[in-house]
Structure 1
Amino acid sequence: MNKKKFLTSFVITILAFCMILGGLFAATGGFSIRGISQIFSGMATEKSNILVMGLDKEARRADVIMVVGVDPKRNKVSVLSIPRDTRVEVGSGRYDKINHTMGYKNPEETIINSVEKLTGIPIDYYCEVTFEGFRNFIDILGGVEFDVPVDMHYEDPAQDLYIHVNKGLQVLNGEQAEGVVRFRNTYARADLQRIEVQQDFLMALFEQKLNVKYILKAPAIIEEMYESVNTNLSIRNALRYVGLLGDLTTESLSTDTLPGNPQMINGVSYVVPDKEALSDIVLTEFGYPEE
């Protein structure tokens, strides 16, 4: 792997997996996190927002959708999870489930426009992550200890998805972790309950892997994840945020779920956003609209 490709995948891996999924650590070669950031023209001082999507096997639907706000001035990372059945405007006057937007023409542009209309949060970058990459990431880290809330058993051969994880505290490998964050079939509140489990898993990953010993695993992570991420975040812009990672703690991370209510519209089940409650979250956690 050449140096430019190595650095690019290194930073994308940090931002896409470590920041978004919670394992906030990184290093490569003889450089420290802060040393790498000093190669470029100064640290980032302005906040940015990244739309993160966990894609299914065909990359046509997003099972995980998050807006991640990075605010260096407040030393804060804010995560807003969006249920995949959320009803959003697609184009002008047309509505669909948000996870269907990846099947439209110009999918990244379509979903970004829909998220911006819905939340009022300007999206600066997008990052698409495959679940294969997620599995590999967890395995390289040696698994994550997690208290699985229910027995999870589900099979979908069309997606090559086979979930068999029992309830209880255990160390999850990559395949099991994927099953836990994707499972929703026996939940009374379906996707909304799944998001709660995703956020609990994110916090467990954050707390367990925010550790200097995982620095040595960075090259293996980079090698495994390079083909698993698609993003418009340039190496120069990404590196400006790397220095922030060294100052983050579990208190730096906040997680919220887009508030809404299940509703049938024309025979289709949606989550209809609660716009007033959403506005409160966006203002408090992301700082929009700006004064």
Structure 2
Amino acid sequence: MLLAVSLGLLAAFLNAAAASLQQHGTQLAHQSLPPHRGGSPLAIVPTLARRLVHTRIWLAGWVTDLSGFVAQAGALTAGSVALVQPLLVTELLFALPLATAWSRRMPGRRAWVSAAAISGGVAIFLAVPDAAPVDGAANRERIIVAGVLAIIVVGVLLLVALGRRPLVQATLVAVAAGLCFAMSAVLLKLTSEDLLERGIAATATDWVGYGLAAATLSGLLLVQWAFTTGSLAAAVATMTITNPIASYLVGVWAFHAEPPTTAGALAGVAGAGALISAGVVGLSHSSIVRPTQDAPAGATRDHD
């Protein structure tokens, strides 16, 4: 369990660092572009892409992101999906000091309280006996059923989202993205186990790896849709909460992990979930961890 928790927290840190580096690399590349003179905004995408691959800070973010993916795979190999995925919400905690360093602003009261709530929730989740299932044997039939159900739910959410006002649309699409990333984590665990136990050749002929690619790509596309449709804060909070909840449920059911049954463990899971969710909502609404232009020197505090 210690190895899984350590690698899960490392993956969260690397994800936060990658997002921070890539965000600022994109800003630098975009600032170096010639002025856009009408036409479709998509016309600058090829030029921006060429600038990005020559921007060191963006490339460092890409390498860091890849390292985070490897750390997550290692965590899922060492522990259960239901244990590892909830730990990834600490990405927002790691984003807080990184954003503070970039912007040279101190976090406001909301950010500190939200960070404390997430920390407390994760501590309860790990400390309460039997709250976090350590591992279990994969049941591929159940995983297929979970995947089919996820596809159906995602399709319904997207159909309902069409034509809705921006905030509702962003929230519904973010839920769909969170479900895709939850299934991606489940399939990443299976793929990692395939590589270790059966080798590259057997893994290449297994449907699991292709399912992993499809789930991850779908999640990435949906999260961009959610981010550009409505409130960024609402989309981040909704996706960040949906992913661990769905991962926990699928991880317990599809891997025969032992779910909590005692009143204390159930109360611990509920309390941890409430604290983490409240903290995620608070931090996602704090401008200190959302994409902003760097504050000028001398700016010292985020007044959220």
Give the TM-score category using the shorter length.
Answer: 0.3 to 0.5
Max Rg structure: 2
Question: Higher helix proportion, which one?
Answer: 2
- TM-score using structure 1 length: 0.32
Question: Higher strand proportion, which one?
Answer: 1
